[in-house]
Each structure stands twice: as C-alpha cells, then as structure tokens.
Amino acid sequence: MKRQLLILPIILLMLSPAFGQKRSSEIGIKLINEIEDRGTYAPGIGVQALYMITNHSGIESGFYYKINPQYYMESYSLTNYTFKRYNEKVMQLPLLYRFESRLVNFTAGFTLEYFINLKEFKKTLTATYADESLQRLTVVPTISMSKSWYFSRSWCIEPELRASAPIPQGGIGIGINLSLRKRIF
C-alpha cells in the first residue's frame, strides 16, 4: 500500500518539467502536393492543428481532403484497350508525434485515410479489377521533416518534406507541403 502511494508522487515529479514548460497551440491551413511512386500527382488542402506539450515535443493533427488520381486499363480484346482515369477522393486524419528544434522539425506517426467515393470507383472497374482488395479505411505510416519560419510573434510558414506508404496497396508517396499557421496561445 505504501509503495502504491509513493508511485503517484514519483510519476508527478518525473512529469513536472513538462508541465512547467511553455505550452502552445497553433492552427492553420496546409497545402498538400504529393507524388506517388506511379508518378501521379495528388493535390490536397486542409486544416492543421499543432499542440506543443513541451518546448520540443508535441502532437500534430489535422483534417485534409486529397484527390488521388488512379489509372487503369480497360481491355476489349488483345489489341483493343484504353487507359482510364478515376479520382479517388480521400479524407485524411493524421495523428503524429512532433519534435521541434531551431534547425529542423520531425514528425512520425499514422494517418487514417477514408476513401469517400469507393462505391463509384468500384462501379467503373471491369470484372477483372473488381476482385482487388479496395478498402474504405486505410492506415498510412507517415514521417516528415520541416522548417518553421515565424514572420511575426504569432504567424508561421512551414515548408515540409513528407513520405508516406499505404500499407494495403504498398508503394510510397513523397509530398512537398506548405503550412500557414497562427499561434493561438
């Protein structure tokens, strides 16, 4: 019983430097420019939120809308075929750990991608592609490196280099994104 009573004060003492440091929150917009390994360009836009727990550690999240162009071949015979394009409409919800320093910032975590128009996409596919395992919800591991420039006490612009790899489909996407945020507190 005495050990259990000592554990709580020890944990609070270990976490006290984090509570004593200056915390801040920022909110803004983010432009997404991703190029997938198939060479397709996937633009997007969304709202970004950043909460710094300590001077160097925090959480980054947001809500983004992105269009992923998909190309597939429709074959009528051995010599008669056409290439078709369909735009996947995707909502993204990232949950990332963020490490900030003066030189460079790093994030790592996962992004949930929700395929909005999956039913319409499946209707356009031929019978040979209908068996593909298309999923409505996908977990995507994500890492990034960025640099924040504050042009006033509360406004920040941040270019970012991001890499993500959809688990079910494989492949990798590289993005050069741009954020504009305002410090709330």
Instruction: Say how far apart CA 76 and CA 113 lie, in whole Å.
Output: 33
For residue range 122-141, what is the model confidence (pLDDT) as tens digits? 776 665 555 455 778 889 99
| Domain carrying residue 149 | 23-183
What's the CA angle centered on 107, arms 111 and 21, to 5 degrees? 120
CB under 8 Å to 140, separation ≥6 — which residues? 110, 111, 112, 113, 164, 165, 166, 167
- Within 13 Å of residue 149, how many CA atoms lie on the same side as its CB? 6
CA separation for the pair 32, 180 (Å, rounded): 12
In a domain, 9, yes or no: no
Quote the mean pLDDT of the chain. 83
pLDDT (tens digit per residue) in 74-131? 777 778 778 777 888 999 999 999 999 999 999 999 999 998 988 777 776 665 555 4
3 occurs within a structural domain? no
Number of structural domains the chain divides into: 1
Residue 7 counted as domain residue: no
The verdict on residue 150 lying in a domain is yes
2 lies in some domain? no
Look up residue 163 and give its two tokens: 């890499």
154 in a structural domain? yes
What pTM was estimated for this model as a whole? 0.77
* 145 within a domain of the structure (yes/no): yes
Contact call for residues 72 and 83 (beta carbons, < 8 A): yes
| CATH code, domain carrying 114 | 2.40.160.20
C-alpha 142/C-alpha 95 separation (Å) is 9
Residue 83 lies in a domain: yes
